[in-house]
């Protein structure tokens, strides 16, 4: 799908106002979901063409805001609401910047990558918007571990020795403080 009608409501993501309430944020997230799903095939197709990670790039959104009660955000912590609100504002502000910057190059790969990032950011924000704090924290821990493992794999492929990776805190040796760098071992151990 191409973005042919740049003035259509489907084109830009919704923008949360300064007067947003949990109820209006819920309605806004319904609009975000519609905006993402309307362009989902295009985003995933371009991501595949450009070799972006993830298969599919947007993944499956586990939350369908329209299927939730209007008061669903009333049980979400204020910091989580604020995070969603600021993320969605940032997505729209970035989208507007992309539109102004690439008005004449809307189909360039650089512009497409920028737009894809807006969709991805909105999808992740939507997926986390209705989570209780404990579930959100657990997801953060899982994501951190996944990133650590991916980094370890990449550094191993680059030829860094396991001992150095352990000292750097990338590889785990079963210690509780595995995320901390052991500077004594780093600077005072033999080759």
> What is the Cα–Cα distance from 41 to 166, expressed in whole angstroms?
42
pLDDT in tens, 83-139: 999 999 999 999 999 989 998 898 999 999 999 999 999 998 998 888 877 787 888
pLDDT at 15: 92
pLDDT at 117: 92
> What is the Cα–Cα distance from 174 to 158, expressed in whole angstroms?
24
pLDDT at 181: 59
CB-based contact 54:119 (threshold 8 Å): no
Q: Which regions of the chain are under pLDDT 70? A: 1-10, 172-191
> What is the Cα–Cα distance from 157 to 4, expressed in whole angstroms?
43
For tokens 């997230």, the residue is 29
Q: How many CB atoms lie within 10 A of CB 95?
A: 20
Instruction: Locate the DSSP E strands across 119-170.
Output: none
Nearest to 65 by CA among 7, 134, 126: 126
Instruction: Taking each helix axis as running N to C, give the angle between helix 78-101 and helix 22-50, from 0 to 180 degrees, rounded to the nearest 10.
Output: 50
> What is the Cα–Cα distance from 54 to 15, expressed in whole angstroms?
27
pTM listed for this prediction: 0.71
């Amino acid at each position: 799908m191409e973005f042919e009608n740049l003035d259509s409501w489907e084109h830009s993501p919704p923008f949360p106002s300064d007067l947003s309430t949990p109820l209006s944020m819920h309605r806004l997230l319904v609009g975000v979901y519609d905006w993402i799903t309307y362009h989902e095939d295009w985003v995933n197709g371009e991501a595949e063409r450009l070799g972006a990670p993830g298969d599919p790039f947007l993944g499956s959104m586990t939350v369908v805001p329209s299927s939730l009660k209007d008061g669903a955000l009333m049980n979400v912590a204020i910091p989580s609401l604020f995070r969603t609100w600021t993320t969605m504002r940032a997505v729209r502000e970035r989208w507007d910047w992309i539109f102004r910057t690439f008005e004449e190059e809307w189909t360039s790969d650089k512009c497409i990558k920028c737009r894809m990032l807006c969709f991805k950011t909105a999808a992740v924000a939507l997926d986390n918007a209705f989570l209780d704090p404990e579930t959100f924290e657990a997801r953060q821990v899982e994501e951190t571990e996944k990133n650590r493992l991916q980094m370890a794999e990449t550094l191993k492929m680059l030829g860094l020795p396991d001992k150095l990776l352990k000292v750097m805190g990338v590889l785990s040796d079963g210690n509780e403080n595995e995320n901390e760098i052991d500077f004594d071992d780093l600077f005072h151990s033999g080759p």
